Amino acid sequence: MELLQYALLAMSAAGLGAVGGLGGAVLLVPALVLLGMSPAEAAPLGLLSVAAGSISAAPSQLRDRSVNHRIGIVTELAAVTGAVAGATIAGALSPRILTYLLAGAAAAGAVLGLRRAPSAAFVDPAYGRADVGERVGRLAGAYPAPGGGVVPYEPRRLPTALGLMTIAGLVAGTAGTSGGFIKTPTETEVMGLPLRVATATTTFTVGITASAALLVAAIDGRLDLRDALAVVAGSLLGGQLGAGLQRALPDRSVRRLLALVLGAAAVVLVVRA
Amino acid sequence: MNLPTRAQPLTKTRSGTPLVAGRASIVSTIRGRWQAPVLTRVAQVMFVLAVVGMLVPAAIGSVLAVAVVGAVIAIPLLRVCWLVFRWWQERDTRFAVIGLALLAVVAFGAIMAMGS
C-alpha cells in the first residue's frame, strides 16, 4: 500500500514537472516528508523521480523538436558547477535556512512566471520546415508551433542567465532538488525563450543534474531500492502524461499552472520549516 | 565566458552528411529520430521491470531495482556523451568541448563526494 502511495505521488510530481519544466523533486520531496519519511531518505527519491521523468518525457519532446540541446548543455555547465559548490557548503548551513532558501526561490519563480507573457513565441512566416532545429555553432534555433508555422528564437542576456543558472545549481546542491523551478523562469524571463523550448530544455537538463546527484547518493547507500522501484514506475508514467499535456495545453495555461504549483510548494516549505 | 555566437561556415558533417542551410545559419542534423524511439523502448522496459520488481519477492526485486536505478542514472549522462559525439561529427567543436567540460564537472563532483 505504501509503495502504491509513493508511485502515485511520483506520477503526479513527474507529470507536473514535465508540464512546467520543474523537475518534480520540489513537489515530491515535501510530499514524502509530510507522509513521515525523513528528508535524508526523501531527497534521493526526489532526484530519482526527476531523472526518470526526464527520460520518460524526452521522446515526445524530441519528436516536437522543442529541446535545444546546445542551450541545455551551456546552461547546465553553470548549474552543475553551482551544484557541486552547493553540495560542498550544504553541511555548513542549517536545514531551516536551506528550506527558507528553497521556499524563497520557488516563490520568486511563481511571481516571475505570472508577471508577464512570454515575448518570443511568434510564428515567422519567412521560416519553413527546413529551418526547424538547432543552429550549428550557435544557441539559436526554431521549433514548429503546435498551430502551424515555425517559431524562431535566439537567447539573450546570456551572462545574467548563466549567473542565475549557477544559483539554481547552488540551491539544487544545498537543498537536494533539481533546481528546475529556477531554470525554467530564467530561460523564459531572462533569456526570452519560448516557454515550450524552455520547459523541454529544462526537462532535459534536470535529468543530468539529478543523475549526477543520484550517483553520489547510490554510492553512499542512501537509496531505498524497494521505494525506488515505486518512484521510478510512477515517474515514468507521470513524465509521459506530463509531456503529452504540455503539448496540448496553451502556453498561458502552462505558465499559470507552473506559478500555482510553485506558490503551493513555497507555502508547504515555509509551513514545514 | 566567451561563447560562440556565429555559425561556422560548414556544409558537411565529419561523416559526410550534408547540413541543411537554414535561414541565417546552418541547421543541425540532430533531430532525435534515432534517440526518441530508443528512449521510448528503454522507458517501457524500465517501467515493466519496476512494476515486476515491486510485485516479486525482495531478493529478486532488489536485483531488478539495481538494474532500473542504474539505467536511470546512466541514461541522462549517456545522452550528453552522444551529443558530444554528434557535435564533434558536425564539426561544432566548441559545443563538443562544453559538453565534455560538463561531463568532467559531473565526474569531479562524484569523485569529491565519494572522497568526503
**Identity at A48, one-letter amino acid code:** L
CA distance A214 to A225: 13
Strands, DSSP E only, in chain A? 133-134, 141-144, 150-153
Residues of chain B in contact with residue A73, where contact means CB-CB under 8 angstroms, are 80, 83, 95, 98-99, 102
Assigned C-alpha cell, B59: 531478493
Using only C-alpha atoms, what is the Rg of chain A?
17
Residues of chain A in contact with residue B62, where contact means CB-CB under 8 angstroms, are 225-226
Chain B interface mutation, best of A71, A134, A231, highest count of B Cβ atoms under 10 Å: A134
- The C-alpha of A114 sits at a distance from chain B's nearest C-alpha, in angstroms, of 31
Residue A171: pLDDT band by 50, 70, 90 thresholds? confident
**What does the domain layout of chain B look like in residue ranges?**
32-115
pLDDT in tens, A101-131: 767 777 876 776 676 555 556 777 878 778 8
CA distance A197 to A159: 19
- The C-alpha of A83 sits at a distance from chain B's nearest C-alpha, in angstroms, of 9
Sign (positive or negative) of CA dihedral B96, B102, B105, B110: negative
For the ranges A154-168, A230-244, B45-59, B60-74, the lowest mean pLDDT is seen at A230-244
Amino acid A13: pLDDT: 83
| Ordered DSSP codes for B52-115 | HHHHS-HHHHHHHHHHHHHHHHHHHHHHHHHHHHHHHHTT-HHHHHHHHHHHHHHHHHHHHHHH
Amino acid A118: pLDDT: 52
**Beta partners for residue B12, in sequence order:** B18
Amino acid A162: pLDDT: 94
Rounded to the nearest integer, the mean pLDDT of chain B is 81
**Beta partners for residue A142, in sequence order:** A133, A152
Amino acid A99: pLDDT: 72
Say yes or no to pLDDT of A52 above 80. Answer: yes
Exposure string for A15-32, b = 16+ CB within 10 A, e = fewer: bbbbbbbbbbbbbbbbbb
Residues of chain A in contact with residue B69, where contact means CB-CB under 8 angstroms, are 48, 214, 218, 223, 225, 228, 232
**Residues A109, A181: contact at Cβ < 8 Å?**
yes
Residues A77-88 have a mean pLDDT of: 82
Amino acid A115: pLDDT: 64
Q: Which helix (H) or strand (E) holds A3?
A: helix A2-20
Contact A69 B46 (CB under 8 A): no
Of A131, A136, A230, the CB nearest to B10: A136
Chain A interface mutation, best of B23, B72, B87, highest count of A Cβ atoms under 10 Å: B72
Sign (positive or negative) of CA dihedral A159, A164, A168, A171: positive
Amino acid A145: pLDDT: 83
Say yes or no to pLDDT of A181 above 50. Answer: yes
| Distance in angstroms between the alpha carbons of the first and the last residue of chain A | 28
Residues of chain B in contact with residue A7, where contact means CB-CB under 8 angstroms, are 54
**Total number of residues shown for chain A:** 273
Higher pLDDT, A237 or A83: A237
The nearest alpha carbon in chain A to B64 belongs to: A229
Say yes or no to pLDDT of B82 above 80. Answer: yes
Amino acid A4: pLDDT: 86
Higher pLDDT, B111 or A73: A73
Chain B interface mutation, best of A11, A56, A76, A229, highest count of B Cβ atoms under 10 Å: A229
Distances (CA, A) of B31 to A58, A67, B69: 12, 10, 27
**Residues B32, B41: contact at Cβ < 8 Å?**
no
In the three-class reduction of DSSP (H, G, I as helix; E, B as strand; rest coil), residue B7 is classed as coil
CA distance A182 to A176: 14
Of B43, B90, B109, the CB nearest to A136: B90
Residues of chain A in contact with residue B114, where contact means CB-CB under 8 angstroms, are 216, 219
Amino acid B41: pLDDT: 93
| Ordered DSSP codes for A237-258 | HHHHHHHHHHHHS-HHHHHHHH
Exposure string for A104-123, b = 16+ CB within 10 A, e = fewer: ebbbebbebbeeeebebbee
Assigned C-alpha cell, A263: 506558490
pLDDT in tens, B17-55: 555 555 556 888 777 778 889 999 999 999 999 999 988
Residues of chain A in contact with residue B27, where contact means CB-CB under 8 angstroms, are 130-136
At which residue does the C-alpha cell 542504474 appear?
B70
The nearest alpha carbon in chain B to A140 belongs to: B5
- The ipTM (two decimal places) reads 0.83
Higher pLDDT, A24 or A139: A139
**Residues A248, A122: contact at Cβ < 8 Å?**
no
Amino acid B21: pLDDT: 52
Taking the model in full, what pTM does it have?
A: 0.83
- CA-nearest of A207, A226, A245, A238 to A80 is A207
Amino acid A116: pLDDT: 54
- CA-nearest of A108, A112, A113, A104 to A270 is A104
- In this structure, the dihedral spanned by the alpha carbons of residues A142, A145, A50 and B109, taken in order and rounded to 10 degrees, is 10
Chain A interface mutation, best of B38, B66, B69, highest count of A Cβ atoms under 10 Å: B69
The nearest alpha carbon in chain A to B57 belongs to: A226
- CA-nearest of B44, B98, B40, B26 to A61 is B40
Residues of chain B in contact with residue A8, where contact means CB-CB under 8 angstroms, are none
**Residues A35, A261: contact at Cβ < 8 Å?**
no
